[in-house]
Structure 1
Amino acid sequence: MKEQFIRTTEVQQWLEKLATLQPQITAQAKIADENNTFVSANIEALRKIGYGKITLPKRDGGEGLSLYDAIVLQETLGSYDASTALAIGWTLLTVGELYENRYWTEEMLLMFAKEVQQGAIVNRAVSEVATGSPIRGGKPTTTATRHNTQYTLNGKKGFTTCAYALDYFLISAWLEDKEQVGFFLVHKDTAGLTIEDNWHMLGMRGTGSHDLVIDHVTVDEHFLVEIPSYHTGFKLNAWLLLIPATYLGIAQAARDIALDFANRYQPNSIDTTIAHLPNVQAQLGEIDLLLTQARFAIYGAAEAIERGNAPEQISHLVNIAKYTVTNHAIAIVDLAMRVVGAKSLQQENTLQRLYRDVRAGLHNPPMDDLTITLLAKFANTQWEATQHV
């Protein structure tokens, strides 16, 4: 049913490009998960076809795909391998956000656009142990000390997804001279940057989300590219929908496995495949119901955002879509495993990996509790506005 959300021939052409990579991507996904290694070959294959520039506007030399259209591609890539989709997804949303909002000077945007055109991959390095999730407002412990026209950065960042493949890091730091958060664009070869290979997780094992160690890294003030008006170093933006798009892909993959199994498996106790049993049909039906609801949540949000909703409304749409897609995806994988039964727990069965990967969605921003709290506060504010005391 995803086909109904494909709006342009350009997206269809990109889907065809991705399809040529599917055998390689799925094969390496299995290897990376089993060996706890980074999906480097997959990222390089995507780099080769120019996938990293799909959200770079055409005026800046990119493909200029909309958020909506990029979601279609990320969902598809997520159905091939969640780690690969999540790893490249952070580049897509970072580039999309930067160039939509023109955060930097035009000189820096022009310079970096040329890098993206040539395949450069970037991610924000924001998370820290001391702050927890950056969306909750913790002050970065990574510091930036000014010396004339240069800054010296010191600190450590966690969850630096795609770390080994990144060409640039957008590092958040506390600017001691300004007493606020700033972002520095730092090239991977800058002295003092090292990657601490410590990504040992249950799910999304192929993302290579290691720690980034920043030890007396000196950069010119020119590379202080952002000084946000917000104080946390993290801002909710519509491009974050590319992350739940990955989990929608996981749900689709689980659904396809369950459906195929149900239509092929026939125990000798019955004269048909289990796909025709009422209890299995109920599970398959619920899977498709949840999948359809999740799709309408995320694509509906993207359409509403395209229509130009107010910033507060956009934040709620992003929050609701992420919450709905992630939790529905978890439920879908669980139902798929119930259809397949104990075989779904076998190491060679892809479902067990999907089960572990889909849980990671709960820990990507925004968190469920924050979404619910913000909705409640907004509802209370609306009620108060209608009261005339």
Structure 2
Amino acid sequence: MIAEEILPDELLDRIRSRAADYDRNNSFFHEDLQELAAAGYLKVFVPEPDGGLGLGLEAAAALQRRLATAGPATALAVNMHLVWTGVAHVLAARGDHSLDFVLQEAAKGEIFAFGISEAGNDSMLFDSETTAEPRDDGAYSFTGRKIFTSMSPAWTRLGIFGKDRDAREGSGELVFGFIERDTPGHETLSDWDTVGMRASQSNTTLLHGAVVPPERIFRKLPVGPHQDPLIFAIFACFETLLAAVYTGIGERAFTLAVEAALRRTSAKYGGRSFAQDPDIRWKIADAAMAMDAIETHLSSVARDVDAQADHGAQWFPKFVGLKVRATENARTMVDLAIRVSGGSSYFRGSELERLYRDVLAGIFHPSNDESAHTTVANAWLGPLES
């Protein structure tokens, strides 16, 4: 099954036609989500016998890359649903069925979102500022503030984590679980008024003692770095699918650059197109080679996850390296497209103007540039000496 069959041109055209209004109005992509759900897109990782597409990470990355060429903010938000279902898929393929219920519920139409990020928490998955308080019945109540909760208007299941500070003889324990939309004790703020990626509506979520029952608590981990399969699966899906979205943005920008070079004419070259300008030709050629490289890189990493390749300690450097390379490459592509397209792209409402704002979000997603370089340096050189 190829990406064009699941996301036909007609569907992409409709998504692209709505993107500008979503951005202008700072509104959620309800129509896109309805059409994607109807196409079975939210069941990419759900096994075929359960009514899903039964695909792996490489195929999902190709789909997200294609979707992002039409609606970057739509693709970025849908990523969060695909991350959780992808994590369940990656774990199940390795014999860990602790999140099978995620795939079962996705098959029934539930929509998952990612309530993990916290302001100032550089440790990401290895520590939390949210309090997870154990209850006598095995449930936990969560109190804290989660930022960048994409899909805020639409999720029916929110994956969260927090820290039980008294567990493990006072060293603390990280507790992961899911709340449902009708669970008391959570609040969504209307604070998503950003430069770009506006349709994602990644609002802040406040947890006011939201209770996760024991059957929805799916992991308890020590504070600090560790090699639990859940952490591997989250990094694998989050970073790879994120890289796919930004690769799609870069691909669209490159397409617009080529179209502009062929469309614009130059008096310097006797009214011929800018495609005859040696400097423009160099820029386009350079960009084409960069796109070939990142597309191959993305497919390679995703394919290795599907094949359960053994990269050992190099897995995490591969994931963060892919994310940084993809987001930076996308920024380069958008910048080049604007230079080739000329001053018209500087006006509000042009697609490139919107891509210019959307692509900036790439620098804020984990792992950021500094964290990624630390991870890669540690893998090759060992940690800094104290």
TM-score (norm 2): 0.88
Distance in 1 (CA, whole Å) between partners of 2:91 and 2:223 is 15
Retained in 1: the 8 A contact 2:64–2:248?
Answer: yes
Alignment-mate amino acid for residue 193 of structure 2 = H
User: Which one of the candidate residues 39, 43, 46 is aligned to 1:49?
Assistant: 39
Q: What is residue 189 of structure 2 aligned with on the other side?
A: 196
Residue correspondence of structure 1 range 1-389 to structure 2 within 5 A: 9-16=1-8, 19-58=9-48, 61-102=51-92, 109-132=99-122, 134-135=124-125, 137-176=126-165, 178=167, 179-228=172-221, 231=224, 237-240=235-238, 241-269=240-268, 270-307=270-307, 308-381=309-382
Alignment-mate amino acid for residue 34 of structure 1 = R
Deviation at residue 15 of structure 1 after TM alignment: 3.5
| Compared CA separation, residues 219 and 304, structure 1 to 2 (3 A) | closer
Deviation at residue 11 of structure 1 after TM alignment: 4.0
Distance in 2 (CA, whole Å) between partners of 1:324 and 1:150 is 41
Deviation at residue 358 of structure 1 after TM alignment: 1.0
| Compared CA separation, residues 44 and 62, structure 1 to 2 (3 A) | same
Distance in 2 (CA, whole Å) between partners of 1:37 and 1:203 is 12
1:329-350: per-residue Cα shift (whole Å, max 9, x none)? 1111111111011111111211
Distance in 2 (CA, whole Å) between partners of 1:327 and 1:333 is 10
Distance in 2 (CA, whole Å) between partners of 1:168 and 1:79 is 27
Distance in 1 (CA, whole Å) between partners of 2:324 and 2:151 is 24
SS in 1 for 2:221: coil
Deviates more, 1:189-198 or 1:231-240: 231-240
Retained in 2: the 8 A contact 1:127–1:133?
Answer: no
Structure 1 residue runs without a partner (length 5+): 1-8, 383-389
Alignment-mate amino acid for residue 65 of structure 1 = L
SS in 1 for 2:292: helix
1:267-325: per-residue Cα shift (whole Å, max 9, x none)? 44532011111111111112111111111221122233344123422222212221221
Distance in 1 (CA, whole Å) between partners of 2:99 and 2:379 is 35
1:160-210: per-residue Cα shift (whole Å, max 9, x none)? 011111110011111255331111211011112221010111111111100
Deviation at residue 101 of structure 1 after TM alignment: 1.1
Retained in 1: the 8 A contact 2:133–2:164?
Answer: yes
SS in 2 for 1:305: helix
Retained in 2: the 8 A contact 1:74–1:249?
Answer: yes
Deviation at residue 149 of structure 1 after TM alignment: 4.2
TM-score (norm 1): 0.88
Retained in 1: the 8 A contact 2:40–2:52?
Answer: no
| Compared CA separation, residues 86 and 238, structure 1 to 2 (3 A) | same
Deviates more, 1:248-257 or 1:319-328: 319-328
Retained in 2: the 8 A contact 1:126–1:172?
Answer: yes
Deviates more, 1:208-217 or 1:176-185: 176-185
Q: How many percent of aligned residue pairs carry the same amino acid?
A: 26
Distance in 1 (CA, whole Å) between partners of 2:322 and 2:211 is 40
SS in 1 for 2:69: helix
Deviation at residue 99 of structure 1 after TM alignment: 3.0
Distance in 1 (CA, whole Å) between partners of 2:303 and 2:138 is 44
Retained in 2: the 8 A contact 1:126–1:234?
Answer: no
Distance in 2 (CA, whole Å) between partners of 1:260 and 1:271 is 16
Retained in 1: the 8 A contact 2:130–2:142?
Answer: no
| Compared CA separation, residues 154 and 377, structure 1 to 2 (3 A) | closer
Retained in 2: the 8 A contact 1:56–1:113?
Answer: yes
Distance in 1 (CA, whole Å) between partners of 2:301 and 2:151 is 27
Cα-Cα RMSD: 2.4
Retained in 2: the 8 A contact 1:237–1:318?
Answer: yes
Retained in 2: the 8 A contact 1:55–1:66?
Answer: yes
Structure 2 residue runs without a partner (length 5+): none
Retained in 1: the 8 A contact 2:173–2:223?
Answer: no
Distance in 2 (CA, whole Å) between partners of 1:281 and 1:101 is 46
SS in 2 for 1:227: strand
Deviates more, 1:109-118 or 1:339-348: 109-118
1:337-372: per-residue Cα shift (whole Å, max 9, x none)? 110111111112110111111111111122122222
Deviation at residue 229 of structure 1 after TM alignment: 5.2
